[in-house]
Amino acid sequence: MSCIKEPEPPISAGQYDNGLIILCEGLFNANNSSLAYYDLETGEVFNNVFLAENGRGLGDTANDMIMYEKDGQKYIIICVDVSSQVEILNASTLKSVAQIPMFDGTNAREPRRVTVNDDVTKAYIANFDGTVAIIDLNTYEVLKFIEVGDNPDAIVYLNDRIYVPNSGGLNFPIYDSTISVIDAISEEVVDTYPCPINSVSLVVNDADFIYLRSNGNYSDIDPSFLKINALTGEEIFKWDVNYSSFQIVDENLYFYDSDADQVRRLNMITDAVDETYSVSLDVIETFGGFHYDPQTEITYLFDLNGYTSISEIFIMDYTGSQIGVFEVGLNANTIIKS
């Protein structure tokens, strides 16, 4: 087990430049979201680093985190759902440079997912209230809210188009079944694609194909996995399989296969699952996600341990063998490499 340390501010610039930054969601309504840092050189783990660096907690139910680079400096954007805040951090110091509230009057918009445009001038936030917020990354001002469908739970930017699957998750049993397509130039919804109900995960590759997960209705409609032409909305295939936790690396789509209880990968050129690669989840009690590092061919598996205890991050090599494990906060959901 790796050593766990609590960092003591002040921290010098560059402290967090060679490791993994782990977002831990915490428990709903418990106000205990956190960040952890794993040093890749020493194997040391530092928990609660956002609190240590900023003198305050991250908030309640942090759902998503991405990194972007602007003018030679890396930044991190975090969506904190229940607190209805968007945090922007200096990635080298993990100090907040902006905390942006997401409210409609007194009603929380609940920011869930985030993406940025190619020239990193704008961030796009999928809010669970049925809107997409546009944030100016120079001033950190909210420029506009765009109405989409019900309860969007993913967002992707590609080639001046923004794709937003609308889950309708709060409208059970009448789920939404659409993908909103926003033109990033006009900042308007220009198309709405049909899709299976309760679609919650979406990625888009450079060949303009959407890969989408539908959760179904948890009853008589099963989960499904689709490939869709991103430019036309045409469905290429629909598989009745339980794939989730998508990550694109080059021509491969890495995913969690719930039925096989493995991390696997799909070649997006041939649309064939690669039978030579898999990582078993035999060591995991409660799967919470994974992160694949293409530079080292290491897969990090998140074990949430029943959602009530610390999370464990299992380090697996290319063969699927465990080579390490370390502990972080409650309900880890995202890893980015600094």
H or E element at residue 50: helix 49-54
Q: What is the mean pLDDT of residues 63-92?
A: 97
pLDDT value of residue 5: 53
Contacts of 137 (CB under 8 A, 6+ apart): 68, 70, 75, 88, 116, 120, 121, 122, 123
pLDDT value of residue 9: 46
Positive or negative, the Cα torsion across 76, 50, 25, 112?
Answer: negative
Of the candidates 313, 323, 264, 318, the residue with the CA atom closest to the CA atom of residue 288: 313
pLDDT, tens only, 268-300: 999 999 999 999 999 999 999 999 999 999 999
Contacts of 68 (CB under 8 A, 6+ apart): 74, 75, 77, 116, 120, 123, 137
Q: Output the CA angle 331-223-245, nearest 5 degrees.
A: 35
pLDDT value of residue 100: 98
H or E element at residue 73: strand 73-80
The model's confidence at residue 10, banded by pLDDT at 50, 70 and 90, is: very low
- The one-letter amino acid at 246: F
Span of 13-22, 146-155, 159-168, 241-250 with lowest mean pLDDT? 13-22
Q: Please state, in angstroms and rounded to a whole number, the distance separating the CA atoms of residues 177 and 43.
A: 44
Positive or negative, the Cα torsion across 218, 219, 223, 224?
Answer: negative
Domains contained in the chain, CATH given: 102-277 (2.130.10.10)
What does pLDDT average to over the chain?
95
Q: What is the mean pLDDT of residues 99-117?
A: 98
**Does pLDDT of 8 surpass 70?**
no
Residue 108's alpha-carbon distances to 25, 105, 122, 156, in angstroms, are: 18, 8, 22, 22
Q: What is the mean pLDDT of residues 57-69?
A: 98
The model's confidence at residue 21, banded by pLDDT at 50, 70 and 90, is: very high
The model's confidence at residue 309, banded by pLDDT at 50, 70 and 90, is: confident
pLDDT, tens only, 237-265: 999 999 999 999 999 999 999 999 999 99
The model's confidence at residue 133, banded by pLDDT at 50, 70 and 90, is: very high
Q: Please spell the DSSP secondary structure of 228-280, one letter per residue.
A: EETTT--EEEEE---EEEEEEETTEEEEEETTTTEEEEEETTTTEE-TT--EE
The model's confidence at residue 13, banded by pLDDT at 50, 70 and 90, is: very low
Q: Please state, in angstroms and rounded to a whole number, the distance separating the CA atoms of residues 336 and 65.
A: 8
Q: Please state, in angstroms and rounded to a whole number, the distance separating the CA atoms of residues 231 and 148.
A: 18
The model's confidence at residue 15, banded by pLDDT at 50, 70 and 90, is: confident
pLDDT value of residue 14: 61
Contacts of 242 (CB under 8 A, 6+ apart): 222, 223, 225, 257, 258, 259
**Does pLDDT of 325 surpass 70?**
yes
**Does pLDDT of 23 surpass 90?**
yes
What b/e string do you get for 256-294 counting C-beta neighbours within 10 Å, with b at 16 or more?
bbeeeebbbbbebeeeebeeebbbebeebeebbbbbbee
Contacts of 241 (CB under 8 A, 6+ apart): 223, 224, 225, 257, 259
The residue among 156 and 11 whose pLDDT is bigger is: 156
Is the separation of the CB atoms in 166 and 175 below 8 Å? no
Q: What is the mean pLDDT of residues 85-104?
A: 97
**Does pLDDT of 12 surpass 50?**
no
Q: How many CB atoms lie within 10 A of CB 300?
A: 23
pLDDT, tens only, 162-215: 999 999 999 999 999 999 999 999 999 999 999 999 999 999 999 999 999 999
